[in-house]
Chains A and B, each alone.
Chain A
Amino acid sequence: MGAGHAHKLYREGRSPVHALPPHCKIAAVFCFVLVVVSTPREAVWAFGAYALLLAGVATAARIPAGYLLRRLLIEIPFVAFAVLMPFIAEGPRVAVLGMSLSESGLWSAWNILAKGTLGVAASVLLASTTELRALLLGLQRLRMPSLLVQIASFMIRYGDVISDEMRRMRIARQSRGFEARGVRHWGVLASSAGALFIRSYERGERVHLAMVSRGYTGTMPVIDDVTASRAQWMHAAALPLTALAVCLTGWMLP
């Protein structure tokens, strides 16, 4: 399970951002998003400044813009929702391009779009510069309960195994001439899901027995503990602190 298990979202690289300890990065991203969310939506320029900040981080991490933009597509469902907003919101209306739109609805749409996009971009940057194992280790360093970290790590490790099992079941169904076309085929798919559950659960039992036979007592040994120096914390804090300055200016200015 060692090699070749970097997730597809991770981008191999040797940049200052990659080299930062994971818990510093997680804390920085979280604080950054928090600052973004609490910025007043009328301060349009502040969001431009945040975007520039993120662009700076992406440049430092040598993440190409196209890659980042493609990963941003995940928020499309909410873009659709935000576009609807000016039509359904209440309040005084303004005429834009011959349509009567709600003014506060336009602001809400802008609010959701700007903050959502910045949040997604920050998470994408975190996921593409941090290895999975390091991410979990970072969460553990940030005092997330170790049992939760263990569950998450098992989920990540066996996620591919279970997904592959599901893919093999699909191939087996297809090779027997099955093609799901409508509601009447749900029974077959659901019994596959049931079988998948039984296999996953039984695999969990086997994994547990294998671990017990290797001396597992309920905690995983930490073999590669990461520590962060003061300088590294300062580097990571640069992003949220600059953002905070922008946010405060946004509140001060009318």
Chain B
Amino acid sequence: MHVPDGFIDAPVSAVTGVVAAGAVAVSLRGARRELDERTAPLAGLVAAFIFAVQMLNFPVAAGTSGHLLGGALAAILVGPYTGVLCVSVVLLMQGVLFADGGLTALGVNITDMALVTTVVAYAIFRTIVKLAPHRRRTVTVASFVAALVSVPAAAVAFTAIYALGGTADVAIGKVFAAMVGVHVLIGIGEAAITALTVGAVVAVRPDLVYGARGVTARPLEIRDSPLAPAAPGAVARAGAPAAEPATAASQTPASETHETPEPAATREPAALPQRSTRRVWLAGLAAALLCAGVVSFYASASPDGLEKVAHDKGIDAKEEDHAAKDSPLADYGVKDISDARLSGGLAGVIGVGATLAVGSGVFIVVRRRRATAESERG
């Protein structure tokens, strides 16, 4: 998603550069307020972490893999200001050192990937955390939703920048559909990884998750052990050495369970891998259906560019009808349903269903074949 030089024209690049500089200046001030003089080392180390974690490959299926973009993760873990700062520094270094993303497009890249992602993710995260019951599970769910929305939001921001100063002559609608479509898929992966990562951090060091401050941290509570004698002087007065180790032993585990939720927390991630697949699948399916049903509702209102050009130029005069024109889904609409948009949406949903059925069929066949091949070899 790193934009190279020449993709966005010079004036818009300059404007986004100013926006990015402003955002970085505000974040510098905000981060200094949050972290005071610890800003430099802490933000630097978190930036190094973001840089490293972008190299961690998450296998998807059939040899493909994805990686984290990190905007939402940074916002939730270290707060919006430090988050913007860290991701901007990562982008700056990638641009200057690795030539990944153009120098003149640095403003575009920072506005798009550091500013929009982080701010959107943090706003959504805080809203959910505020509204939902204060539990650890809320934090995980909120980070899932925040990351899920933040990636397409960046795609929308990119489309807006492109609409203002794109050099290529591609219709905005197409750019929008392609960018948002692809990034909804990326967003699902990003959301799953972000939620799992934040969950892992919350389980061990809830105090480090900036966005969840006040949610997971319980106020210090001083309780009397039920086995402790009522008066502090009682033990000393009784002088019974046998009673003392007993009280001490019963006190320690009791106080531990009261103060930190750690034993329960460490159990949680162990149970995750079994459940996570199904949840990811369901979320992906829901998003695909949503795209197909709702987005095509708007997109299918006008025919696509090639068809339109063909129509305008009269190229399609001799166009032969497709062999499947009588199929119930011809021209992306369901027969016998008169409302064009509804029918288009329905056709999209059916299409997703069919693709899913064929895709999973192929997947199951491949897996079975591989399994038999392996058992034969073994």
Contact = CB atoms under 8 A, between A and B. Distances in A.
Contacts of B10: 34, 37-38
A26 B102 CA distance: 13
Nearest to A91: B169
A36 B98 CA distance: 19
A190 B48 contact: no
A67 interface: no
- Interface SS of B by simple majority: helix
Nearest to B11: A38
Interface string B1-30: 000111101100100000000001100100
Interface stretch (A51-59, A100-108, A222-230, A231-239): A100-108
A227 B10 CA distance: 30
B201 A119 contact: no
Contact of A186 (B167, B193, B203): B193
Nearest to A207: B41
Given A145-B28, A184-B277, 12 more contacts: A9-B97, A34-B104, A37-B104, A78-B7, A132-B97, A148-B85, A154-B48, A181-B59, A186-B193, A204-B44, A208-B38, A211-B41
A187 B102 CA distance: 35
Contacts of B60: 182-183
A195 B39 CA distance: 21
B89 A151 contact: yes
A123 B95 contact: yes
B47 interface: yes
Contacts of A158: 44-45, 48
B338 to A, nearest CB: 30
A122 B105 CA distance: 14
B93 A194 contact: no
Contacts of B171: 90
20 contacts: A30-B104, A33-B5, A37-B6, A85-B168, A112-B7, A116-B102, A151-B47, A152-B93, A156-B93, A162-B45, A166-B52, A166-B56, A183-B192, A186-B276, A193-B197, A196-B53, A197-B201, A198-B201, A204-B45, A212-B37
Contact of A218 (B13, B37, B92, B204): B37
Contacts of B199: 190, 194
A163 interface: yes
A174 to B, nearest CB: 13
Contact of A191 (B57, B104, B269, B281): B269
B319 to A, nearest CB: 13
B68 interface: yes
Contacts of B48: 154-155, 158-159, 161-162, 200
A192 B45 contact: no
B37 to A, nearest CB: 5
Contacts of A93: 309
